[in-house]
Amino acid sequence: MAGSVQAPLTSARAAQDVELEPIQLVAPDGTPTPETRYRRDLPPETLAWLFESMAVTRALDVEFVNLQRQGELALFATCRGQEAAQIGATACLRKTDWLFPQYREMGAFLLRGITPAQMGAVWRGRWHGGLGFTEKCVAPIAIPIGTHGLHAVGAAMAAQRLGEDSITVAYLGDGATSEGDAHEAMNFAAVYKAPCVFFVQNNQWAISVPVSRQQAGPSIAHRAIGYGMPGVRVDGNDVLACYAVMEEAAARARRGDGPTLIEAVTYRLGPHTTSDDPTRYRSDDEVERWAALDPIPRYRKYLQHIDVWTDRLEHRVQSRSARLCAELRDAIINTPDMDVGELFDTVYADITPTLQAQRDELLAEMAKEA
Ligand SMILES: Cc1ncc(C[n+]2csc(CCOP(=O)(O)OP(=O)(O)O)c2C)c(N)n1
Ligand SMILES: [Mg+2]
């Protein structure tokens, strides 16, 4: 009996040194920090690629918001301010590692080669939105908060049983960690040493609920102690720090040592979605404080500091951003909407009477509007 309680206590103790101070490799002024436990000496082309990916994500994000404001999209969830977290945490993974996004992870989609047209189809609400993601080892977005944590753990356990060396990543929000699903996912993952990383983007808000209402403990990362896995807090606005801690967590999962809970401390600079008015629940002062920590100018200063910054990189960012934004705009505006009737055709080999009735009702409704 003593032995059976001893084992989890030991692994929990190993995880007990969760630091409250987030890991940071690049200071807000763009200079390297004294941190020596993680490497920042990536090859110059990788360093430049990280910048390019962050800046192109930002440009696409702006284009999405514009398209929504122009009435082309009903809704969009911006990731402005969270580019370092998403790019850093995804860039160090293998293309065969499975990503389980929430809904705000455009940086991760970009890195996986999900096209602007594919991303646009999701927010345009086309019936095939999300199709094709799985070909890139990306699960469709999960609007029901926290559910995809379980999918990520299930997929990780499947990979484990099949003897594959791929890992899975669940991208959760701070609010998502309060869901029962997130608890079940983390507990299962820790108990079964599933090769899964929980990457929580703590962007300080879950719509209008501040992160202070998501836990009474010292931090989200500290919950890892209770599950018996390592917990790491990282500066989510520092792309190199996010890269480094995810690289370490991915290696741990891949060698069979189980999951890690990473809390990337960041900020949602924009509204929750284009339907939200954040001035109703947060102060301009707060937003300005975080805007000064914007991950993109910070990293640009760092690249300048280490002499990796070039005008060519700037031009490359501009031309790729322009090309992808044009692709997005074209896909949203000029591609005819799919026949919504097809939505029902692909559910079962033979349509059920209930679905047929729903299909008829929808088509009749739409015919009235046309
Ligand atoms: C199960 C469930 N409950 C409530 C909602 C409504 N909802 C949509 S987004 C959201 C907040 C999520 O916050 P967080 O996990 O921090 O992610 P963020 O939007 O900040 O990226 C809520 C409550 C939902 N989609 N699903
Ligand atoms: Mg949040």
For 64-113, write each residue's pLDDT tens digit: 999 999 999 999 999 999 999 999 999 999 999 999 999 999 999 999 99
Count of CA atoms in the C-beta half-sphere (13 A) of 133: 25
**Distance between Cα 146 and ligand 1 center (Å):** 8
Q: In Å, what is the CA distance from 248 to each residue of 241, 243, 251, 269, 283?
A: 11, 9, 5, 28, 36
**Distance between Cα 147 and ligand 2 center (Å):** 15
Mutation pick for ligand 1 pocket among 100, 145, 276 (CB with most ligand atoms within 8 Å)? 145
330: tokens are 């074209």
The rounded distance, in Å, linking the Cα atoms of 235 and 165 is 28
For 310-354, write each residue's pLDDT tens digit: 999 999 999 999 999 999 999 999 988 788 888 888 889 999 999
Handedness of CA 126, 132, 136, 141 (dihedral sign): positive
Q: Per-residue pLDDT averaged across 123-144, rounded?
A: 92
For 141-157, write each residue's pLDDT tens digit: 999 999 999 999 999 99
Give the torsion through C-alpha atoms of 202, 207, 208, 214, to 10 deg.
-40
Instruction: State the pairing for strand pair 196-202/260-265.
Output: parallel
Q: Which of 80, 151, 252, 268 is catalytic?
A: 268
Instruction: State the pairing for strand pair 209-210/205-206.
Output: antiparallel
Q: In Å, what is the CA distance from 53 to each residue of 58, 83, 91, 171, 312?
A: 9, 8, 9, 18, 15
